[in-house]
């Protein structure tokens, strides 16, 4: 049968705040968004677009895809000619 913890086993009390709060929820005192790069009252800066293949020129896309196509064809031809031994 479980035994109830004694008074000395109780957890220590949480440290008291040294200032008043107008709200009744628990929170930390860390800043909400430490990565802000704008002044209060101003809008967030515009987001940078991520990487997109469509933003590359046709030559840049070809330079990315051509080596992959060569590797795939080489693997396919190796299987055809030498078999999957």
| Residue-level pLDDT at 4 | 58
pLDDT digit string, tens, across residues 25-73: 655 555 555 566 667 788 888 888 888 888 889 999 999 999 999 999 9
| Residue-level pLDDT at 59 | 95
Q: How far is CA 1 from the centre of its chain?
A: 47
Domain edges within the chain:
57-85
| Residue-level pLDDT at 84 | 64
Distance CA 30, CA 32 (A): 6
| Residue-level pLDDT at 51 | 85
Look up the pTM and report it: 0.39
């Amino acid at each position: 049968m479980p035994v109830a913890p004694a008074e000395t086993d109780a957890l220590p009390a949480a440290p008291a705040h040294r200032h008043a709060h107008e709200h009744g929820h628990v929170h930390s005192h860390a800043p909400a968004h430490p990565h802000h790069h704008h002044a209060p009252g101003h809008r967030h800066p515009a987001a940078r677009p991520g990487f997109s293949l469509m933003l590359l020129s046709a030559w840049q896309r070809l330079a990315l895809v051509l080596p992959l196509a060569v590797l795939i064809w080489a693997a396919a031809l190796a299987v055809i000619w030498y078999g999957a031994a």
